[in-house]
Amino acid sequence: MQQKEQIIRTEYSEVMQKSYIDYAMSVIIARALPDVRDGLKPVQRRTLYDMHELGIRHDRPYRKCARIVGDTMGKYHPHGDSSIYEALVVMAQDFKKGLPLVDGHGNFGSIEGDGAAAMRYTEARLEKITQEAYLADLDKDVVDFVPNFDETEKEPLVLPVKVPNLLINGAEGIAVGMATSIPPHNFSEVIEGVKAYMKNPDITTRELMQCIQGPDFPTGGIVVNKDELLNIYETGSGKIKIRGKVEIEQAKGGRQRLVITEIPYTMVGANIGKFLMDVVNLVETKKTGDIVDISNQSSKEGIRIVLDLKKGADTENLCNMLYKKTRLEDTFGVNMLAVADGRPETMGLVPVLKHHVNFQYELATRKYKTLLAKELDKKEIQEGLIRACDVIDLIIEILRGAKNIKDAKDCLMNGNTEKIKFRYKGSVADARQLHFTERQATAILEMRLYKLIGLEIEALMKEHEATLSNIAKYEEILGSRSAMAKVIVKELTKFQKEYGQPRKTRIENVAEAVYQEKKIEEMPVVLLMDRFGYARTIDISAYERNREAALSENKYVIPCRNTDKLCIFTDKGQLHTVKILELPYGKFRDKGTPLDNVSKYDSSEENILYINCMDGLRGKKLLFVNSQGMMKVVEGDEFDVSKRTTAATRLNEAETVLAIEMLAETEAETVVMQTEKNMFLRFFASDVPQKKKGAIGVRGMKIDSRDKLKAVFLLGEEEKTIEEKDKRIMLHRLRIAYRDGKGVKK
């Protein structure tokens, strides 16, 4: 029978709001943010748990990553194999994680941004620390298990991590409306911080920072704003400034070289290549002339970027320039956001450790309750077996006289002798005194005869003593928070001794880098640009010697100053600017550089209509005419902008700029507009109103719908003639009319 449709009437905005909030919370809790207790995102947690379930231990052979990823996706994380493999790769990269959790075998990428090989080629297994501190005790009911996405498997809600992983490995994640960015810290220091908090739960952030000095990045480097760390760790957000480590080495011929041996954590990946390009750009733009050569000699042993310097170079000033102009000094934005008690929360250092320590007490309580229950069960059975050994002859007589196990068990538990045939009458009275528990009776019935050997009985007694000792120990731990704290601290100390590493990142207070930029000697030059778009500058004297050749071989010849900038106006209505210093300066016959290389101008998509230097535009006025006949006059100073590319004028869709001309601003200056059907209109340039560059302008000529504007001419007092279909038209003899007319046919 078909179910009847149920229509719910509600406000659409309410449905959208609820749906968006549900989606946002799903991304925040179930994908993007780590849990404060284990410091892991769901994808990381599920991958590690799946490896644990597959038995891929540190002392067993590696297994294909494709197997791990497929198993994780099929059982626990149905969000695509790429996200799972990426999480697996990152957990194996020692240049991203302070404490790698996965032991990778094969190509797992490099610090320079090379990606890992495909998952079908790489292999992995768990690290020893991961087994001991992240996945141990899962069989002791220390964490809750929940159904997976299709309720065919169970997965842990959180892993029983015994170290503060959120601080040790840090975290990065982008959710909906929020993001987390937590730097990694030194393993030993964080353990010391946990111990300090357990001794004094009222500890302040300042006191805690005597143990945890600051972040410890896997790439080393230097944190230069030590005084700001206190506020960052109190509020859970802020900016950490990090620098690479630069060493000065002596080279041949009395020269020196700068060697970068450690990089900022933010430079990991493609940013190393960008840094090299930035240094090359500093040399090419003449910001520095001290660098002769740059080479990246990095290897598996570590980072080594070498900058060879010229003799007598100012190394201190050059280092400061690298800090200011490249990513050798960078900022790591801290936002210590994690899921705590089921909701996202930004926490400082103390709250993070508070949540971790509370979690450790919870884990320890559940662990020792489980162990105590097991020991009490063992004690019950052991006591039953010990008592059974004392009356073993009676028990054997009961077993031989019973018809079935049920009768024998009933006699052992309740002293019921009615269904038992005894060989000796005196045994009946003794049997009625038996009162074993059900567990004890079952153990007696299952006991093998070799257990009656003297040595076995002795071993049973020793085992019973050990059980009683364990019970006393577990009860003491569960009965006293201080005793439990000792156990937690003892285990942390063991991890600290085995896995602790010296600090890699130095924490200092360093003054802001200040460098004196080399003053550029201002001088007049001449810009030459050929018809292929290659531009260069030459000395005035070189231009004077080759004036005729310069004018005949080049499309644009513009006198300017080397401190000026070039303004390039295109038919797309764009203004591209280029600093004159960015163009090569040299001899007359030197080849220039394409404008495409030094600006955002694209010669394949737009055509240059007008070029001038900024000094040549100041105090002048430009006439703009678009393809629809709209025109305006714009002050040249409006184009003095800092952006490399901006809109020079406003255009509607499908419009282009037809002409840009500089006005002479004389009374006799006129504009001639020509259409494809040879309609001509001449009027005074002063009739065109002055507008802002963002305006469309006014109509210059009424053009028939079947006609199009073809050309625009700006006439002064000189004569100008054009040829059209074997006819010579003298523009200066056209009758002067008014703007926005139809014009005359020629």
Q: Which residues have a catalytic role annotated?
A: 121
Q: What is the DSSP string of 608-659?
A: EEEEEEHHHHTT-EEEEEETTSEEEEEEGGGG--SSSEEESS---TT--EEE
Q: How many CB atoms lie within 10 A of CB 551?
A: 11
Answer for the pair 424, 371: CB distance below 8 angstroms, yes or no.
no
State how far the Cα of 278 lies from the Cα of 45, in Å rounded to an integer: 39
State how far the Cα of 377 lies from the Cα of 258, in Å rounded to an integer: 69
State how far the Cα of 373 lies from the Cα of 190, in Å rounded to an integer: 33
State how far the Cα of 647 lies from the Cα of 657, in Å rounded to an integer: 12
Answer for the pair 348, 338: CB distance below 8 angstroms, yes or no.
no
**Cross-strand partners of 125:** 103
Tokens of 284: 């090419």
Answer for the pair 34, 41: CB distance below 8 angstroms, yes or no.
yes
Cα distances from 366 to residues 296, 330, 341, 360, in angstroms, run 53, 45, 18, 10
- Helix pair angle (81-90, 65-75), 10° resolution: 120
Nearest alpha-carbon partner for 739 in 666, 665, 655, 631: 631
Tokens of 541: 């004297």
Alpha carbon 668 to its chain centroid, in Å, reads 64
Nearest alpha-carbon partner for 511 in 239, 225, 220: 225
Q: How does strand 102-105 pair with strand 123-126?
A: antiparallel
Task: Give the torsion sign (CA, 525, 526, 530, 532).
Answer: positive
State how far the Cα of 193 lies from the Cα of 200, in Å rounded to an integer: 11
Grouping H, G, I as helix, E, B as strand and the rest as coil, residue 727 is: strand
Length of the chain (residues): 746
Tokens of 374: 């097991």
State how far the Cα of 516 lies from the Cα of 537, in Å rounded to an integer: 26
Nearest alpha-carbon partner for 713 in 640, 645, 663: 663
Q: How does strand 534-539 pair with strand 524-529?
A: antiparallel
Task: Give the torsion sign (CA, 46, 49, 55, 56).
Answer: positive
Tokens of 373: 């229950």
Answer for the pair 710, 724: CB distance below 8 angstroms, yes or no.
no
State how far the Cα of 257 lies from the Cα of 292, in Å rounded to an integer: 10
Grouping H, G, I as helix, E, B as strand and the rest as coil, residue 569 is: strand
C-alpha triplet 309, 312, 317: angle, nearest 5°: 75
C-alpha triplet 562, 565, 571: angle, nearest 5°: 140
Q: Where are the beta strands (DSSP E) in 401-489?
A: none
C-alpha triplet 483, 486, 487: angle, nearest 5°: 95
